């Protein structure tokens, strides 16, 4: 928000002559690390120590130096001024009740710090009840702090997390943790912090004398499975609104055991599995792993592993975890994330033979992954192109139930003169019988081609169901049109009800007025239903005036009633660079994105959309075209174009540029633009 306010303030002072230069040099936002990554040794600043470029420095106030020591004060000032997260770590000796070194450390820091985003603790005071008392006092101090900018800090303690059973525990007799889980849930903390280290003693999970037939295929697999299972236990039971920040490390040796140190690829893979299972960040301890040169080598390797998955996490959208189960006896672990219509899956085969992961039957995923060689980790990427089976109606009636006399499948007559759907008659002409797996509150996108006769109206609803196939209700897919006489593409979005039991939907298509006139026929073809991509633009409907847009004087104006629905819109008149976005749209190299908008024009005016692209420091790297000049019709129509971000790994954001290409030559060449969106495709 500070960055956005800065842009808006700067924009008011710009002239047309300086506008392009300004866009090329302004920053895109704060400079601190974007990941919630913390490390045990990355603490306060002192002479010769500066802010870490990858991790958020976290003072151990009162433990290393007194809580009000200038080193700590300077650290918080630097964190605040450079856009880093701000927090602290409490130890046994700074615990708020029994701390022997400074039990007022937390209170002292909150007395002078600008804000706190996180309060972490490593209370290991000998008994669960003692730790619990310290945690409750810590939470009380934060939530009731005199510093209102600290009250909402996320709070977590080492090895406190939800989940009634910890199957990763080394002995079968110690797996029940119902009390610990209940105490976490009632503590007021909201960060789960399981210890997900590859402890050497986890080798017992490969010992049949201890675990019987429920054993890992080898010690390497045991040290990989156990931390992942502990993490997954916490994630399965994590309440909404809580964060999950596991403790990680390269290896924890233990006297009396003889397990191999995890390889570098195992250390990387383990953290990547956690991220693909929804980790919000991580807290690194000490590696104790000779496969790394030193501590810094481990720190940088795991942050690189975390960021190697950025492709699936960079785009805005709900990141849906696909799998939280583990495979102890097989040694084959797989984790995945769906971000809108992109899916990334990591398969790690720590078993003794080549194997492939079995996928769930949804989202048109293949039945299984490719074969992964024993001992290897492999990432697979998939794209959801259509949740419908037979959406082009070229496979007869597969996936659909046609109501007799109301719907027929035509073998010709479609958009490409192949199969299509012909709807004639009243409500519920056709029902889908194929389950479209969705998620509660998911934004969905539907597109299709349609044409009609005699003013027939095309509508679509859908039923929604739970995992057992029990119907829970129905809702509108927001399809309600009178198709033109020739094929035209239509597109809209709808949102699944926010019912946690919803697992899949089935669409219902109908010709609303066919009963009254047998000539009221609608033809439909190439229907696609998939997850919708959220619009990355703010004030995209221009109903908040020109907020987040810079209108070039004499070239663009805001109008409050000429829009698509009689509300706000942009009026473009004049030459190049009529309107420039002063908002950052997240983007990554080679990402495919889509721009969509409604427009109408006069005198053959043509609209072109370009964009500048920027690195993390806000430095412009160049510009490219999203849509070449396009003639605009005289009445509002929807236009869209797909474009690909240049192949430059430094790109993190873009800013759009709209202009009326020929407006400069004829003052009557006017274009009105409304409801513009930029999304990942």
- What digits encode the pLDDT tens for the residues 393-410? 998 888 888 876 678 889
> What's the confidence (pLDDT) of residue 577?
57
> What's the confidence (pLDDT) of residue 9?
32
> What's the confidence (pLDDT) of residue 632?
86
Q: Give the whole-angstrom CA distance, residue 623 versus residue 446.
A: 31
> What's the confidence (pLDDT) of residue 42?
97
> What's the confidence (pLDDT) of residue 633?
83
Tokens of 588: 């990554």
> What's the confidence (pLDDT) of residue 567?
83
> What's the confidence (pLDDT) of residue 126?
87
Please count the other Cβ atoms lying within 10 Å of the Cβ belonging to residue 7: 21
Q: Give the whole-angstrom CA distance, residue 423 versus residue 429.
A: 6
**Residue segments in the chain with a per-residue pLDDT below the cut of 70:** 1-32, 314-317, 404-405, 425-429, 513-519, 553, 574-577, 662-668
137-170 burial, b for 16+ CB within 10 Å, e for fewer? bbbebbeebebeebeebbbbbbbbbbbeebbbbb
> What's the confidence (pLDDT) of residue 19?
39
Tokens of 521: 């026929």
Per-residue three-class SS string for 226-250: HHHHHHHHHHHHCCCCCEECCEECC
For residue 261, report the phi and psi dihedrals to the nearest 5 degrees: -65, 140
Asked whether the beta carbons of 339 and 309 are under 8 A apart, the reply is no
């Amino acid at each position: 928000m500070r960055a956005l306010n800065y842009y808006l303030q700067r924009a008011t002072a710009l002239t047309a002559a300086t506008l392009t230069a300004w866009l090329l040099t302004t920053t895109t936002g704060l400079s601190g690390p974007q990941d919630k990554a913390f490390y045990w040794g990355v603490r306060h600043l002192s002479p010769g120590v500066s802010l870490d470029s990858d991790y958020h420095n976290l003072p151990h106030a009162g433990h290393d130096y007194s809580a009000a020591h200038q080193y700590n004060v300077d650290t918080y000032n630097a964190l605040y001024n450079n856009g880093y997260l701000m927090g602290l770590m409490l130890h046994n000796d700074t615990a708020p009740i029994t701390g022997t070194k400074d039990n007022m450390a937390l209170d002292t820091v909150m007395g002078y710090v600008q804000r706190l985003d996180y309060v972490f603790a490593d209370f290991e005071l000998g008994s669960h009840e003692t730790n619990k008392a310290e945690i409750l006092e810590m939470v009380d101090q934060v939530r009731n702090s005199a510093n209102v900018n600290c009250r909402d800090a996320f709070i977590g303690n080492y090895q406190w997390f939800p989940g009634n059973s910890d199957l990763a525990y080394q002995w079968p007799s110690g797996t029940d943790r119902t009390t610990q889980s209940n105490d976490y849930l009632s503590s007021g903390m909201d960060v789960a912090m399981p210890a997900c280290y590859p402890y050497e003693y986890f080798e017992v999970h490969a010992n049949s004398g201890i675990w019987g037939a429920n054993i890992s295929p080898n010690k390497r697999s045991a040290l990989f499975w156990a931390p992942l299972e502990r993490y997954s236990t916490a994630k399965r039971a994590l309440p909404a609104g809580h964060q999950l920040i596991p403790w990680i490390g390269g290896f924890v040796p233990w006297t009396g055991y003889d397990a191999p140190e995890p390889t570098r690829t195992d250390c990387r893979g383990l953290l990547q599995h956690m991220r693909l299972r929804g980790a919000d960040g991580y807290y690194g301890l000490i590696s104790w792993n000779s496969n790394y040169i030193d501590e810094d080598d481990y720190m940088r390797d795991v942050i690189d592993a975390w960021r190697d998955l950025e492709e699936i996490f960079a785009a805005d959208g709900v990141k849906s975890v696909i799998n939280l189960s583990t495979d102890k006896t097989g040694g084959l672990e797989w984790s995945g994330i769906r971000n809108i219509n992109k899916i990334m899956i990591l398969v790690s085969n720590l078993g003794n033979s080549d194997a492939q992961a079995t996928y769930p039957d949804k989202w048109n995923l293949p039945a299984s992954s490719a074969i992964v060689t024993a001992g290897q980790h492999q990432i697979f990427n998939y794209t959801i192109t259509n949740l419908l089976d037979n959406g082009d109606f070229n496979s007869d009636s597969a996936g659909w139930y046609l109501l007799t006399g109301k719907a027929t499948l035509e073998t010709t007559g479609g958009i490409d003169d192949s199969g299509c759907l012909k709807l004639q008659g009243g409500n519920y002409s056709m029902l889908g019988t194929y389950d479209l797996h969705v998620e509660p509150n998911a934004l969905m996108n539907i597109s299709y081609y349609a044409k009609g006769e005699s003013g027939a109206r095309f509508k679509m609803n859908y039923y929604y169901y739970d995992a057992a196939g029990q119907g829970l209700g129905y809702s509108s897919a927001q399809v309600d049109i009178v198709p033109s006489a020739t094929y035209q593409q239509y597109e809209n979005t709808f949102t699944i009800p926010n019912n946690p039991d919803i697992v899949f939907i089935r669409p219902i298509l109908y010709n609303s007025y066919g009963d009254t006139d047998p000539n009221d026929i609608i033809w439909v073809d190439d229907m696609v239903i998939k997850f919708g991509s959220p619009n990355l633009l703010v004030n995209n409907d221009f109903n908040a005036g020109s907020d987040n847009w810079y209108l070039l004087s004499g070239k663009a104006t805001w109008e409050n009633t000429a829009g698509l629905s009689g509300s706000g819109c942009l009026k473009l008149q004049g030459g190049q660079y009529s309107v420039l976005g002063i908002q950052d749209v997240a983007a990554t190299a080679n990402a495919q994105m889509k721009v969509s908008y409604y427009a109408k024009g006069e005198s053959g005016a043509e609209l072109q959309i370009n964009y500048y692209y920027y690195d993390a420091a806000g430095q412009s790297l160049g510009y490219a075209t999203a849509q070449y000049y396009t003639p605009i019709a005289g009445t509002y129509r929807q236009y869209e174009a797909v474009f690909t971000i240049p192949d430059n790994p430094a790109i993190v954001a873009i800013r759009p540029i709209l202009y009326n290409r020929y407006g400069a030559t004829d003052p009557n060449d006017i274009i009105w633009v409304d409801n513009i969106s930029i999304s990942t495709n």
